[in-house]
Amino acid sequence: MIGFFVGLGITAGATAMGCAYLGISHRVMHLILGRKTPKHMEQGARWVSGSNMFTEYAEEIAAASTGLEQRSGFEEVSLISRDGIRLAGHWRPHPQAKRILIAMHGWRSTWSRDFGFIADFWFEHQCSVLFAEQRAQSNSGGEYMGFGMLERHDCVDWVNWVKQKTGGSLPIYLNGISMGATTVLMATGLNLPKNVHGIIADCGFTSPHAIWKYVTEKNLHLPYLLQGVFANEWCRRNLQVGSKECSAPEALKRSSVPVLFIHGTDDRFVPVEMTYENYKACAAPKRLFIVPGAQHGMSYHVDQTGYHNAVLSFFNEFDHDAEKDAFSP
């Protein structure tokens, strides 16, 4: 009888612990993917990223972001995604455009923050740019972010918007940083029009599952096994896709779209090894630009000249790719 009650107590205790764990895990997933930015997010960013990645350039980044937002020549635009979400964007056409860029920013960031520095370089080199606002962030609708799993489809919707807006005669490049980079890499596994001539992916991760596991174990020093199982099921229930079902390497294995991979060696948020893994999997023409000493998303700041040269070389090589010049309606 005593053994029965002891066993019952253990079972009850385990159940209580299990319920508490599920509650914490549910909250964690909302913090990761939910629209509302937690008040303590900035303090926690150092733990999650494993570095003070933005400290050195914080004032410069803020000034460049404000400067881009105040530029003239922008048109505020929007579209309705295939799942009914209103997505916002900022269209900056060039009067003598040679190509069009669709720029996808990173996790809990903004279009002006992530592209404030490079925007003028693009414009100087005759790029019309569509700066997208990722779903569930800023002015775009949606309850949850998808870490690329949902946003890859948004990329295709923006490509179709650009084609309709411009007539589809210019080469299109998908450009992303961090989560935006994984978004554009995952989009290569979809049916992209032939006038998408290339992908520029700066510090992208391989998959939601892989990056969550890495950050949890390496930066937060916590076990991920049970959290990973819960995360996968949470995504299935709330996003209608499992966190293990989508990955950049799997998309890249089937892709014919050229890719320029960019990453910094000192990235402790998304390790450079993930770009090497993506690069190795890519079946399309590919180029690699690695920046020694650069932390997460800081490659442009550390080696601006090298970055410019890598991007311009990529444009020069693939703007007039004969196989992609045929317009696909």
The pLDDT score that the predictor gives to residue 52 is: 53
pLDDT at position 39 is 61
* pLDDT score for 37: 65
- What was the pLDDT predicted at 32? 83
Cα distance between residue 147 and residue 288, in whole Å = 23
Is residue 112 over pLDDT 80?
A: yes
- Confidence at residue 3, expressed as pLDDT on a 0 to 100 scale: 37
Which tens digit of pLDDT belongs to each residue from 228-256? 888 999 999 999 999 889 999 999 999 99
| Segment 252-261 mean pLDDT | 97
Report pLDDT for 230: 87
Res. 178: pLDDT tops 60: yes
pLDDT at 114 over 70: yes
Which tokens in the block code for residue 75?
């048109």
Beta-carbon contacts of 168 under 8 Å, excluding residues fewer than 6 positions away, are 193, 195, 327, 329
Q: The tokens 């050229």 sit on which residue? A: 258
Residue that wins the pLDDT comparison between 165 and 41? 165
Q: Identify the band that residue 22 occupies on the pLDDT scale cut at 50, 70 and 90.
A: low
Say if CB 293 and CB 266 are below 8 A apart.
Answer: yes
- pLDDT of residue 297 exceeding 70, the answer is yes
pLDDT at 13 over 50: no
Tell me what the mean pLDDT of segment 260-281 comes to.
97
Report whether pLDDT(104) > 50: yes
pLDDT tops 70 at residue 326: no
Domains annotated on the chain, with CATH: 43-207+246-324 (3.40.50.1820)
Q: What is the DSSP string of 70-88?
A: T-SS-EEEEEE-TTS-EEE
Query: What is the reported pLDDT for 327?
Result: 39
37 or 198, higher pLDDT? 198
Average pLDDT score over residue span 273-288: 98
Reported as type and span, the H/E element at residue 32 is helix 2-33
How many of the other CB atoms lie within 10 Å of CB of 213?
Answer: 18
Q: According to the model, what pLDDT value does residue 35 have?
A: 86
> How many angstroms from the chain centroid is the CA of residue 217?
21
Whether 5 shows a pLDDT value over 60: the answer reads no
Contact 125, 315 (CB under 8 A): yes
- Give the pLDDT band of residue 12 (cuts 50, 70, 90): very low
> What pLDDT is attached to residue 161?
97
